[in-house]
């Protein structure tokens, strides 16, 4: 009996996936069937589009790693533990199937590292270009930190460094799963999100969901080498955590963080306030449907060293 091209390729790339006790029915049927415990389930879908999130000439293994790690970063922002993934490949028919085999090596590497069960995969022809869509499930305790959990006065923290992701970080980043779990189970994070579009547009989302405005010390924003404040705010694809902590807990957090994650930078960048609006001249970050950013922190000029501007909300 002859296997069709799609069946053959899927069979090949889905072969050798790590076994999982809770996977009752894996790739190859109409649906995946998984065994699940009562409680809260996280659901997330995320996509990777050629020429937006990756280039075809880039290493497909790294692009595959990124495809799974992007939604894992969202699971991290909820303090969750990833469980299952379903992966849809949109492929031009002329593309060498070897591309997807390499791509899947990156997916498998991330799946192994972060304990994700690949429960299913699908493929569709798309004449115009490559795209990948990943759907994830995860488990989470009742103490998850939604974007809406912040209050006026909460201290804002970010992990790691921001800006300049396009130089490589966007293909190799490690989703902050451990940090996210620690921040929610310890009760430090009231509100949390991952930074994918850039602090400039992501922070307003968290503040708005929490019914707050915010103050940010621009000179405190932790920057990747070679990045300026504008880049740190608007480049996007940082995949770091942004979270809000009650003011009476913030110094305790800083202390405990050092021993829990000695190699991960943690920075207090400002506070949520009661104004319910963004600081004047706050730069919008990357937005897929806004080609020209309406507000800019100067024409992408370098922020003069030693002359930080403090942005105040509600003015």
Enumerate residues 28-67 that contact a copy of itself by CB under 8 A. 28-47, 49, 51-53
Q: Which residue, 122 or 172, is less far from a copy of itself as judged by CB? A: 122
CB of 46 to a copy of itself, least distance (A): 7
Site string for a copy of itself, 210-229 (x = CB under 8 A): ---x----------------
Q: Does 90 bind a copy of itself (CB under 8 A)?
A: yes
167-206 residues in contact with a copy of itself (CB under 8 A) are 192-194, 201, 204-205
- Among 54, 62, 65, 80, contact with a copy of itself (rule: CB under 8 A): 80
Examine residue 207 and tell whether it contacts a copy of itself (CB under 8 A).
Answer: yes
74 binds a copy of itself (CB under 8 A): yes
Residue 300: partners with Cβ closer than 8 Å, 6 or more residues away: 230
Rg (CA), the chain: 21
290 binds a copy of itself (CB under 8 A): yes
Sequence-distant (6+) residues with CB within 8 A of 146 are 78, 191, 192, 209
| Encoded tokens for 168 | 């490589």
Nearest partner of 89 among 52, 130, 30, 117, judged by Cα: 130
CB 90 within 8 A of CB 124: yes
19 lies in the site for a copy of itself, by CB under 8 A = no
Q: Would you count residue 315 as binding a copy of itself (CB under 8 A)?
A: no
By the 8 A CB rule, do 37 and 129 touch? no
How crowded is the C-beta side of 82, counted as CA atoms within 13 Å?
32
CB under 8 A: which stretch of 79-87, 154-162, 225-233, 257-265 binds a copy of itself? 79-87
Residues 251-280 that bind a copy of itself (CB under 8 A): 276-278
Residues in the chain: 315
Interface with a copy of itself, residue 119, by CB under 8 A: yes
To 10 degrees, the CA torsion angle through 108, 238, 143, 251?
A: 130
């Amino acid at each position: 009996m002859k296997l069709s091209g799609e069946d053959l390729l899927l069979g090949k790339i889905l072969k050798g996936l790590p076994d999982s006790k809770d996977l009752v029915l894996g790739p190859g049927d109409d649906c995946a069937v998984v065994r699940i415990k009562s409680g809260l389930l996280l659901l997330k879908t995320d996509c990777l589009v050629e020429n937006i999130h990756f280039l075809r000439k880039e290493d497909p293994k790294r692009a595959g790693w990124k495809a799974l790690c992007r939604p894992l970063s969202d699971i991290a922002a909820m303090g969750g533990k990833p469980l299952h993934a379903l992966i849809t490949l949109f492929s031009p028919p002329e593309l060498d199937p070897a591309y997807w085999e390499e791509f899947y090596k990156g997916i498998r590497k991330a799946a192994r590292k972060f304990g994700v069960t690949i429960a299913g995969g699908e493929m569709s022809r798309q004449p115009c270009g490559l795209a990948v869509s990943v759907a994830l499930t995860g488990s989470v305790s009742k103490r998850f930190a939604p974007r809406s959990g912040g209050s006026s006065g909460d201290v804002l923290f970010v992990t790691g460094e921001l800006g300049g992701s396009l130089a490589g970080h966007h293909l190799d980043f490690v989703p902050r799963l451990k940090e996210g779990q620690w921040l929610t189970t310890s009760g430090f994070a009231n509100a949390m999100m991952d930074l994918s579009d850039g602090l400039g547009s992501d922070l307003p989302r968290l503040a708005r969901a929490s019914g707050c405005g915010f103050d940010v010390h621009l000179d405190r924003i932790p920057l990747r080498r070679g990045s300026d404040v504008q880049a740190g705010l608007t480049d996007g694809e940082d995949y770091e955590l942004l979270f809000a902590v009650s003011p009476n807990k913030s110094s305790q957090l800083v202390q405990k963080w050092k021993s829990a994650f000695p190699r991960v930078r943690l920075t207090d960048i400002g506070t949520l306030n009661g104004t319910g609006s963004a600081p004047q001249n706050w730069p919008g970050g990357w937005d897929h449907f806004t080609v020209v950013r309406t507000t800019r922190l100067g024409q992408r000029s370098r922020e003069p060293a030693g002359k930080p501007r403090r942005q105040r909300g509600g003015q």
